[in-house]
A and B are shown apart, each in its own frame.
Chain A
């Protein structure tokens, strides 16, 4: 019997691995410049074994990043196997199809050497402040317009910076200091992780983590399969519709097949919309990330997240569809569609585990970026900021107001935004009654109104959704109210940056979540 079969020894080693990647994430989050990383926690860190299998991930981050990082690990190790690496090497990529689905997310992957051989990797993905090209938003016509494409390569070679790559990055991004600061943070957080891992191995007399990793992955896979085997087998279907900037309506169809014999769940997105001409398309990695997230958070939120627990969940989607887009589809604002990926799956799972799912919610957070000139004529570009609508209701609980599912990113405070640029918020309040009625009510959306205190025209880049297609209720619950995006009181739907005039007033009413169960049963 392996020493790791022991539930005490394994608990101690495993919880140490999780603590190590969590510390890596904390170090990264505190040090990063990218506001979305610091305030919203838009990052992922994980430990991989020498074969590139994710063993432990931080209990922070966003679903889109974490599970996409798991897939990136496999691609990175395939492209740069341990035998080709030297101590001090650091790998990098932002290839949308190999990692997190758009250029802004850069993955850094660092091998850990012990006694001359690679025993593990620490990986991290964070959303950078800039990556050149189009900037924030969905308006680019193809992926090349969206910025700098970094193939899998070495950021550091044997401890020395890859000078050519550094030079290319410096010449292709608008905020090189911040990008290099954030890359340095990724590299140093992996160093911290490596030191912790080697110290743990020394304390426990380990020369590698192969056997430990195998045991963790095997147990996680077994537990996940066991949880799936308890479900009623069959294929269940769900469909979710929502409108996106520009006015198109996207349909996502998910067929969720539960194979109780093998303990497997297969999700197929056949019948979903074709890829869009706008940059809201999702690569399969990212679809996989949100699909597996939806399954796992309903199946058992306590299960660990690693290669083993992800393995029994298979995700497929037709090539060229909006959830498996192909080169050269633009992908910049892929979160708009990605954050809806769980919705049809939850609707399918309602037939199997009605107690654990939630009704459709507002879906994607609404994101905003503003550029202009202040009263003194100095140009400014805001960081991207976001607002949530209401969450869907649960079987026994109302949906939280102004809170997003599947992500849970924080909003930047009004005062922080007002201090950073000449913006004046006129309102930020809930929209009472916007959550769908039901035995349990959907969460309310919110109304945000603002204008710019500037004499010059300014640019507004707003990525909204669900302004017509409402969040449906479950089990007889009513739908939530649709969102409304108004400029000077007139509804707009625009995927590209809009030129605004001084004095223009913007009003954003985020959608409400769907209700759960029939309302008359409320008493």
Chain B
């Protein structure tokens, strides 16, 4: 039995595929994403990989894992069908009013994106649940009947129901759903108490609406995927990658498409934690730099950090507050508005600025010769000699070096310097931006980033990683193999996982254990059922317990992991100790006299870590430089050896300065650095002692 496992990651530009046989041999490929019908690109990529491995669909008897950008695209391009929102009467404008925050103080010209559901499709329902969960008023059935008729008249396809305090008691939302389903059975219905049962009405409603808006697109997509897999002779149902860094069955993913937003980058972080495990590193900072942005994620104790919320579709320079809040667990990523296509300019203060404007892929950097005139990061990398005009994308795309130099010279004149110095300036400024973003991210979480190794991937990541590492005092930079399809690879090493959250605001000292028991047991059972559906053996499922806690009087909570199932010992003091330890780690203090509140309970259902062996195929003898070219490091250019990554043998060592080329990316090793081919085919670069 061949035991093939298959992974497909559909991103904005490329669809990546990884096919791995039972003995660890791996085939990868990349095709252009097909926005009209994403599954067309899916199967084209799969066919390519199967053909190269001479394998048949029936031989894929291990998992088929899929990460897709379909949900994100539907939101960003506003492609969802007509969606309505039911709220508590008197609160129709919850989406338009947001949290009232003006996200950019100094710019009086900022705007806010229009809500996904317009006011005429938002309906107030006479009903009320109080903060303690008691029902002040049952759902008005006559009103619901009128609303159902109005939805039908307006051709509404999907509905979100988000009532006040439903995080505490979902009864009224459920009753409204029953009535709607009876009146209009074809409606897709999303309940805020199921999608994101947490306190704060605006982000919970926003999340439920995003779910409702994308469900009518996602469910048929996943159904189509399953059907076409069967038709082609594949034997297993697909598993779907979620933003929390887990995979789950297609049925649950279809019901909660909002959990799939940002799942591609999450898979990249999962790949990083897999390498951390294999290389024996507890901590890593994954650094994925592409064309328009860079993404970074901290891996702690070999796991990526998971945050409780994020924003989608930020419309103002990636600024917090300018997007729509999504209240679901997601890998904690920082997105930085600087990538290969980012434009460099001199501002009115005479300072060199890079990004956030990007030339994208069209017109792209000047050197692409597709009409771009503004100098970009990629142009700087070319002028510095890090990229080879003749071997970009393995030679498939010729770069125009003279044009890049001319644009850099023009920039240099504005700075009072030459083209190469201007390019070196861009290279430094980009590194500083990445380092500043990583420091800010770490500071926000109370983490000391110094010494943490970097794992670099994405088209531009390996070009810039060592420069970033120098600023962050990183102990090493790791360049994994398969860097260009790392997210697809990540889905293959991702365990099944479902994160569940339930709001339960109250003082820790007054926790009602009977109620808590019922709540946690329901969460455990929901998680178990989902993982069994995803193919996990019931005995292999573990549960991790946690909560969101805070000191009474504070408004933001800290996510705390509990060592034990709280149902077993019912030990309030132990929960408080866990909170205080987490709080102290983040903020450096404890407040012995202040009461602690629990805001939400968390349960993560975790499947077994897939044990799929890997095998890096390396040549037996050390590779020699294939060329030598002038590259500029710091103040001056020097002749630099150029290697082909595929030619490097296990344990081969290379001293910087050197350049190591792959088809989709280039590793830049500055002077003072030494690289070595280590476990799993990773190239590990370290700074030599001075």
Contact = CB atoms under 8 A, between A and B. Distances in A.
Interface of A: 6-8, 10-12, 14-16, 19, 22-23, 26-27, 30-31, 33, 35, 38-39, 61-63, 129, 175, 177-178, 181, 184-185, 188, 192, 196, 203, 219-220, 223, 226-227, 293, 296-298, 300-305, 356-358, 387-388, 391, 394, 397, 400-405, 407-416, 418-419, 424-430, 446, 449, 453
A167 B58 CA distance: 77
Interface in B387-426: 415-417, 421-422, 424-425
B553 A358 contact: no
B615 interface: no
B555 A7 contact: no
A284 to B, nearest CB: 22
Interface in B62-120: 90-94, 96-109, 111-112
Given A8-B425, A177-B594, A428-B90, A301 B106 contact: yes
B165 A415 contact: yes
Contacts of A404: 100, 102
B591 interface: yes
B514 interface: no
Nearest to B166: A415
B185 interface: no
B231 interface: no
B515 interface: no
B346 interface: yes
Contacts of B551: 33
A394 B108 contact: yes
Given A19-B439, A23-B440, A397-B111, A446 B97 contact: yes
Given A408-B101, A416-B199, A31 B587 contact: yes
A296 B106 CA distance: 8
A419 B133 CA distance: 10
A226 B348 contact: yes
A23 B199 CA distance: 27
Nearest to A66: B105
B102 A403 contact: yes
Interface string B447-468: 0000000000000000000000
B152 to A, nearest CB: 25
Contacts of A181: 589, 591, 594
A219 B350 contact: yes
A301 B200 contact: no
Contact of B443 (A27, A178, A412): A27
A22 B165 contact: no
B102 A405 contact: yes
A281 B130 CA distance: 39
B353 interface: yes
B54 interface: no
B349 A220 contact: yes
26 contacts: A11-B351, A12-B429, A12-B432, A181-B591, A184-B589, A293-B106, A301-B109, A358-B108, A387-B100, A401-B93, A401-B96, A403-B102, A404-B100, A405-B102, A405-B108, A411-B101, A414-B91, A414-B201, A418-B131, A419-B131, A419-B199, A427-B90, A429-B91, A429-B97, A430-B97, A446-B97
Contacts of A424: 130, 136
A73 to B, nearest CB: 20
Contact of A8 (B91, B101, B429): B429
B650 interface: no
Nearest to B426: A8
Contact of B201 (A293, A415, A453): A415
B105 A408 contact: yes
B52 interface: no
A418 B90 contact: no
Nearest to A395: B109
Contact of A415 (B97, B167, B440): B167
Contacts of B109: 301, 356, 394, 397
A203 B199 CA distance: 45
Contacts of A302: 347-348
Interface string B520-543: 000000000000000000000000
A296 B108 CA distance: 10
Contacts of A31: 587, 589
A235 B103 CA distance: 33
Contact of B91 (A23, A33, A301, A428): A428
A474 to B, nearest CB: 13
Nearest to B553: A33
Contacts of B36: none
Contacts of B586: 30
A419 B131 CA distance: 5
Interface string B197-211: 001111000000000
B554 A38 contact: yes
Contacts of A402: 93, 96-98, 100
Contacts of A227: 348
Contacts of A14: 351
A23 B352 contact: no
Given A30-B556, A33-B551, A429-B91, A415 B200 contact: yes
Interface of B: 90-94, 96-109, 111-112, 130-131, 136, 164-165, 167, 199-202, 346-353, 415-417, 421-422, 424-425, 428-429, 432-433, 436, 439-440, 443-444, 471, 505, 551, 553-556, 586-589, 591, 593-594
A33 B554 contact: yes
Contacts of B417: 6, 8
A47 B351 CA distance: 20
Residue in B109, B429, B556 whose Cβ sees the most chain A Cβ within 10 Å: B109
A418 B352 CA distance: 49
A63 B429 CA distance: 29
A411 B555 contact: no
Contacts of A356: 108-109
B130 A418 contact: yes
Nearest to A398: B111
A387 B97 CA distance: 10
B600 to A, nearest CB: 12
A457 to B, nearest CB: 21
B645 to A, nearest CB: 31
A240 B464 CA distance: 53
Contacts of A303: 348
Given A31-B587, A415-B164, A419-B131, A7 B350 contact: yes
A177 B551 CA distance: 11
Given A22-B440, A415-B164, A11 B97 contact: no
Nearest to A41: B101
Contacts of A6: 415, 417
B108 A39 contact: no
A213 to B, nearest CB: 15
B665 to A, nearest CB: 25
B100 A35 contact: no
Contacts of A405: 102, 108
A38 B421 CA distance: 43
Given A400-B111, A401-B97, A11 B352 contact: yes
A35 B555 contact: yes
B415 A8 contact: yes
A39 B555 CA distance: 7
Residue in B90, B351, B440 whose Cβ sees the most chain A Cβ within 10 Å: B351
Contact of B440 (A26, A35, A387): A26
A477 to B, nearest CB: 16
Given A419-B505, A429-B93, A177 B591 contact: yes
A143 to B, nearest CB: 27
A516 B588 CA distance: 50
Contacts of B104: 301, 408
B108 A30 contact: no
Contacts of A305: 106
Given A35-B555, A298-B108, A19 B201 contact: no
**3 cross-chain pairs, A with B, having the tightest CB-CB distances, nearest first:** A408-B102, A8-B425, A427-B90
Contacts of A397: 109, 111
Contacts of B108: 297-298, 301, 356-358, 394, 405
